[in-house]
Amino acid sequence: MTNAQVSDAALSKPQAPPRAIFDWFSAIAALAVIGIYVRAIYFTPIERLQGAAQKIYYLHVPAALGAYIAVGITALMSLVYLWLHDERSDRLAEAAAEVGLVFLTVVLTTGPLWGHRIWGAWWAWWDMRLTLTLFLWFIVAAYLVVRGGIEDRAMRARYSAVLAILAALLIPFIHLSVYLFQARLHPMPVVLKPDRPSLPPEMLTTFLLSFAAFSVLCIALIRARYRVGVLRDMAAELAS
């Protein structure tokens, strides 16, 4: 089939008109995050030892959990792609990876800001949670670079799927690093631990609401990025 014939086929093929990338779900996500800002700033008590800087917790930790969700979706959809070779799962994996990189960037900027004030250090390479999170950022960035560098669609999806699965393997090590390594700056978990959360009720409520809001934001951004991917593939198909 010639290029002209391919273009003709693409033009004649009925395609759903591209929807707005942001929809009602995105609006709910935005409102939820604004609500968390208001609750954390005005309606959550200030911690006695750290002062107001402790409120970074309500963004930093939910962003980290959002990054885990996004990278987890990337790995899961990559497995689905390797199994079924469905391009939609590859596109969803790509969307989740990009959103995961944004969430990891939030984690890696709020963390040093908080650490500089409370620990007296922007960074400590011997804190494995910090260093492994940076490694995860690099792997997810590499995933997106690899995708940008491979022309062949099937090869791109296959190679990047393997990278995504390897990236997701880091997540349990990041979470468990505070148990595995004695030398660390990060404290032991106060919520995600075997026994009861050790946060006061008002703080715990803000944290749980923030986790919910960031999870909704994560899904909303993945949906929006997926739609950008659909538009890009439609444009590429028409141009080929």
Partner 1 sequence: MIDTTSTYHAAYIVVALIFGAYAVSLWSRARKLRERLAAARSEPRPE
Residues lying near partner 1 in the complex (CB under 8 A) = 4, 7-8, 11, 18, 21-22, 33, 37, 41, 46, 48-56, 59-60, 63, 102, 105-106, 109-110, 113-114, 116-118, 217, 221, 224-225, 227-228, 231-232, 234-235, 238-239
CB 156 within 8 A of CB 163: no
To the nearest whole angstrom, how small is the minimum distance from the Cβ of residue 8 to partner 1?
A: 6
To the nearest whole angstrom, how small is the minimum distance from the Cβ of residue 12 to partner 1?
A: 8
> Backbone phi, then psi, for 51, in 5-degree steps?
75, -155
Judged by CB, which is closer to partner 1: 76, or 234? 234
Judged by CB, which is closer to partner 1: 58, or 81? 58
Which two structure tokens, joined as six digits, stand for 185?
Answer: 């700056």
To the nearest whole angstrom, how small is the minimum distance from the Cβ of residue 137 to partner 1?
A: 13
- DSSP sequence for 218-239: HHHHHHHHHHHHHHHHHHHHHH
Q: State the Cα–Cα distance between residues 168 and 163, nearest whole angstrom.
A: 9
Judged by CB, which is closer to partner 1: 49, or 188? 49
CB 170 within 8 A of CB 130: no
Say which amino acid occupies 212: A
Judged by CB, which is closer to partner 1: 85, or 116? 116
